[in-house]
Chain A
Amino acid sequence: MKHVYRILVPVVLLVALVAVAGCKKKHQAQPLPNETAPPATAPAPTAQISATPTSVSAGDQVVLTWRTTDATNVSIEGIGDVPTSGVKTVTPSVSTSYHLVARGEGGSADATARVTVNAPPAVAVPTNTMSAEEEFKANVQDIFYDYDTADIRSDAQATLSKDASYLTGHPDVKVVIGGYCDERGSNEYNISLGQNRAESAKNALVTAGVAAGRIRVISYGKEKPFCSESTEDCWQQNRRAGFTLDR
């Protein structure tokens, strides 16, 4: 008995489903001929898309701007469904045609914006190094010293631990620490003082886990000031340990 039900139920259900679906299809089939001849009340959609700029290098950003009318469903190929009008930033790695399709009651429209991605220049290394340098600059901050001392200030401790965490996270990066002094005092004494500032910064990084072999120190004394006025503000700018990427 059980066996009979097991076969019977699906069969009944299938028959019922086919019957219902068949009814539905009949209902929908009627408007179909209208697609080619839309009624006057449903205007045809319009679509526009533009890309700025239209020509970029790999990795550069492009702004897509689009606008449609009378559309209920808008999509951009490769991006998916999007609002009926909008702005989107994309970063194409190869030349791309952004194909926009707008569908509405009154039909569909499409528009295309082409972005040409130029091949990266033959010497790709400088571009990469530049960005590595920028990343380094953004993550490894200089520290500043009090007058006539190479002792690490408490505000410099915080900076140094951030510097150290970046450096420990990027074990391939090598760093040069430059020791700098303000204009007061002799060139010779300031080279020694700058040396001690650079060394104290190095020691702090080494203590924080950065391998000593990755760090080179050099004293610039008062020979390469960041600021050349005879004011305390300027002197403070010049009393520093400056971090740069070593190559």
Chain B
Amino acid sequence: MKALSRLLPLSAIALLVLLAPQLRPQDWVRTGTNLGNARIRLASADFKPVGSDPETPALKATFDATLYGDLASAGIFDLVSKSMLPQSTPGSPQEINVAQWSAAPASAEMVAFGALSSTSGKLVVYGWLFDARNTASPQVLGKQYNEASSQDMARTVAHRFADEIILRLGGGINGIAETKIYFVSSRTGTKEIWAMDYDGQNQHQVTHLGSISLSPRISPDNSRIAFASLDRGGWSVRMYSLDLGRLVSFPGGTASGSNQSPAWSGDGTKIAFSSSRSGDPEIWAADAGGGNLHKLTSFRGPDVSPTWNPRTNAQIAWVSGRTGLPQIYIMDQDGANIQRMTDGGYAISPSWSPNGQFLTFSWNRKYGPGAPGGQDIYVMDIASKRWMQLTHEAGSNDFPCWAPDGRHIVFERAIGGHSQIWTMLADGTEQHELTHGGSNFMPNWSWK
């Protein structure tokens, strides 16, 4: 008895040693999320109200909150908490005492500040970015905005100014404060395509088809949404023109069977999608106009959810059930060089990172009847196939999609039967829920 109990820990250790090669640390992929190592400490001052227009305070409140939110969620700043900011609200370079901002407790390396006024329907905003450590020549950025006065415009101007700051301080990568997220919502009773600003503001319905519409994918030039919808004949890939405000033709998208899960190439010239017109769901590709249709895969089992390498437009990742449970694969755009990426479980919904280096997808590593475990969002480095898990023990997570900055991922999280759209940084931190009403699914981040 004693001998057995002494043996048990030993065998446990032996087992661990045997398993060790599989347990190699692959839980951290640091590069490529564009997050950098040291975050810049940035102070975002409340803007100075100018003039006595009664609308100014409300516009200023919206502007300040939006700018602060944009900078806080950018993923590259250590934003000084509002409580640590100096009491002053400098409205111009003449009014700022830079030393006040670089001193503790603010200890800011950079300061964003400015002035806002609303006069006779015009919104005028002056914004500056100062390097608090460079007292000789502190100005990094100075911008002026003249727009029609409205709450929406106060938000828009704040987004533009935030993106200028992020572009300057974030290694030349464009900010995402002016981007949109397209998604599916059932809040009207049927699943329709909706749109919202990247921070969840300004949610509005795009399609009114009264059927089931899924998988919205915005074109790289923001002019069209490819999506799938159900009618009497099955699923078709359809095209909605945001310029025209109506459906436009996409000839290759309708055929017998299921035609769905469209994906734009990064140059906007091609669309890949899944079609069962040959009898089995395969990946097909067409020109953006719907012509030059050709089949890329030929293997029994579901092939679905393609995503292009947006950097090269020469490779496609997708989901295939050819060996049983769905796995992530990649191939060349002509269907050659097929490579399996995931080693098991249930892997779906890939999205290719803007720099071409990573995939994010939804993976349930312990999938199987009766097996515990969650469906979580993962990021995989394509060259090494090393992965890291971004979500943990929070609902069922699916449809991750990269933001164009490569720093953010939007995804769908279902808790208790209700799905909502969430964002997070590409390392899994700073998870925020963007939608709250009804059920919302399948987010797609605009390219710019």
Contacts and interface: CB of A to CB of B under 8 A. Distances in A.
Q: Does A pair with B?
A: yes
Contact of A192 (B279, B303, B349): B303
Chain B at the A interface: SS class = strand
B234 A186 contact: no
Given A186-B348, A188-B305, A223-B230, A195 B257 contact: yes
B321 A187 contact: no
Contacts of A187: 214-215, 441-442
B346 interface: yes
Interface in B260-285: 260-261, 274, 276, 279-281
B113 interface: no
Contacts of A189: 302, 304-305, 319, 321, 326, 348-349
Contacts of A218: 230, 233-234
Nearest to A192: B302
A89 to B, nearest CB: 42
Interface in B319-351: 319, 321, 324-326, 346, 348-349
B398 A195 contact: no
B302 A186 contact: no
A193 B235 contact: no
A195 B326 CA distance: 15
The residue in B257, B274, B279, B442 that gathers the most chain A C-beta atoms within 10 A of its C-beta is B257
Contacts of A193: 302, 321
Contacts of A195: 257-258, 276, 281, 302
A217 B258 CA distance: 9
Contacts of B326: 148, 185, 189
Contact of B274 (A192, A199, A220): A192
A191 interface: yes
A68 interface: no
B212 interface: yes
A162 B228 CA distance: 35
A191 B445 CA distance: 23
A232 interface: yes
Contact of B349 (A188, A191, A194): A188
A194 B319 CA distance: 15
B255 to A, nearest CB: 12
A238 interface: no
B441 A192 contact: no
Contacts of A184: 346
A46 interface: no
Contacts of B274: 188, 191-192
Given A148-B321, A192-B304, A185 B348 contact: yes
Contacts of B369: 147, 232
Nearest to B346: A185
Contact of A196 (B281, B305, B399): B281
B362 interface: yes
A215 to B, nearest CB: 11
Nearest to B211: A223
A228 B441 CA distance: 17
A191 B191 CA distance: 15
Given A147-B369, A195-B258, A218-B234, A188 B325 contact: no
A195 B261 CA distance: 14
B212 A223 contact: yes
Given A186-B398, A187-B214, A187-B441, A192 B281 contact: yes
The residue in A148, A192, A218, A230 that gathers the most chain B C-beta atoms within 10 A of its C-beta is A192
A234 to B, nearest CB: 12
A142 to B, nearest CB: 19
Nearest to B233: A218
A199 B279 contact: yes
Interface string B224-254: 0000101001110000000000000000000
A235 to B, nearest CB: 9
B234 A219 contact: yes
A188 B276 contact: no
Interface string A206-247: 000000000001111001000010101000000000000000
Interface in B1-22: none
Contacts of A191: 214, 228, 235, 258, 260-261, 274, 304
Nearest to B231: A218
Contacts of B261: 188, 191
A196 B348 contact: no
B305 to A, nearest CB: 5
A185 to B, nearest CB: 6
B214 A196 contact: no
The residue in B260, B279, B302, B399 that gathers the most chain A C-beta atoms within 10 A of its C-beta is B302
A190 B398 CA distance: 13
Contacts of B212: 223
Contacts of A228: 417
B189 to A, nearest CB: 14
Contacts of A147: 369
Nearest to B281: A192
A219 B321 contact: no
Given A188-B261, A191-B260, A219-B234, A199 B441 contact: no
Given A186-B348, A187-B214, A192-B274, 8 more contacts: A186-B305, A186-B398, A187-B442, A189-B302, A192-B260, A195-B276, A199-B279, A218-B234
Interface of A: 147-148, 184-189, 191-196, 199, 217-220, 223, 228, 230, 232
6 contacts: A185-B346, A186-B305, A188-B305, A189-B349, A192-B321, A218-B230
Interface of B: 191, 212, 214-215, 228, 230, 233-235, 257-258, 260-261, 274, 276, 279-281, 301-305, 319, 321, 324-326, 346, 348-349, 362, 369-370, 398-399, 417, 441-442
Ranked 3 nearest A-B pairs via Cβ? A192-B302, A192-B281, A186-B348
